[in-house]
Structure 1
Amino acid sequence: MLGERLKSLRTRIKLRQEDIAAKIGIARTTYAMYEQNKREPDNETLQKIADFFDVNVDFLLGRTNNPAPFNQRNKSLSEFESLFFYELDKLSEEDKQKALEHVRYLRYLAEKENKK
């Protein structure tokens, strides 16, 4: 779980492993092992990673799907929206397009229903 979330967060902001490793003060190979789930960070490093990505530690560990730090929860996506957003990241580009088309269709139906 941790490795998948780290990679997803990193690729979303288009940074290399070495960029993040340098920012949090660890070796690139160490960070790479975190992404591959071959090693786990200590508590201090885990907090540095969470701070870097501006997410909470529980999100990194898979205990919640809401990535917002606890002090920003009221400004963040709902847990449902967050889950949807992060699950979409795991789909192929073709499947993402299908999901988008489906959501647009559902919105169309809702708008049509509201006009009655």
Structure 2
Amino acid sequence: MYVTLGDKIRQLRKRAQMTQAELAVRLGISASAVGMYEQDRREPDSKILNKLCEVFSVSGDYFIGASEKPLSGEAVDVSEVFDEFTSRLAMQEGLMFDGVPLSNEDRRKIIDALQVVAAIARQQHKNETNHKK
């Protein structure tokens, strides 16, 4: 059976437990556009395809049919992803949390909390590494 681009988008969205509206917000498009993509009534442009790859952490090859695997096989250093995420969070305009716009103070509190969690994780990793020696 042939799996269409729309099928892949729908499967990934459902696997991520997102609604069409939630995905639309992440992509900066309307929910009806997401629905049209999923029904193969419209094809996303390259910009939207790139955003889909980012949102679902998949390779572009998956969407164009060059790979059957949705997840890239690359090893991912979570600390690098975390650092990139907090940097983007600090610079991104128009952020919301549960649909409520974030003030700069709220944004700072979230970043601070995330950095505390990362520091704890790094310390635990360091302690575990030292105990193995």
TM-score by length of 2: 0.51
- Equivalent position of 2:56 in the other structure: 53
Task: Tell me the C-alpha RMSD between the 2 structures.
Answer: 1.6
State the distance in 2 between where 1:11 and 1:68 align: 15
Query: Is 1:12 aligned to 2:12, yes or no?
Result: no
For residue 68 of structure 1, report the CA deviation from its aligned partner. 2.6
Structure 1 residues not aligned, in runs of 5+: 77-116
State the distance in 2 between where 1:55 and 1:42 align: 16
**What amino acid is the match of 2:71?**
A
Identity of aligned residues (%): 33
The number of aligned residues is: 73
- Equivalent position of 1:2 in the other structure: 5
**What amino acid is the match of 1:36?**
Q
For residue 74 of structure 1, report the CA deviation from its aligned partner. 4.1
For residue 62 of structure 1, report the CA deviation from its aligned partner. 1.9
Q: Which one has a larger percent helix, Structure 1 or Structure 2?
A: 1
State the distance in 2 between where 1:32 and 1:41 align: 11
**Structure 1 counterpart SS, 2:68:** coil
State the distance in 2 between where 1:18 and 1:61 align: 24
Instruction: Spell out, residue by residue over 1:34-81, the C-alpha distance to the aligned partner (whole angstroms, 9 max, x if none).
Output: 000010011011100111000011102222112233xxx2449xxxxx
Distance 1:42 1:74, change over 3 A: closer
- Equivalent position of 2:24 in the other structure: 21
- Equivalent position of 2:117 in the other structure: none
Structure 2 residues not aligned, in runs of 5+: 77-133
Larger radius of gyration: 2
Of structures 1 and 2, the one scoring higher in RCO (CA 8 A, sep 6+) is 1
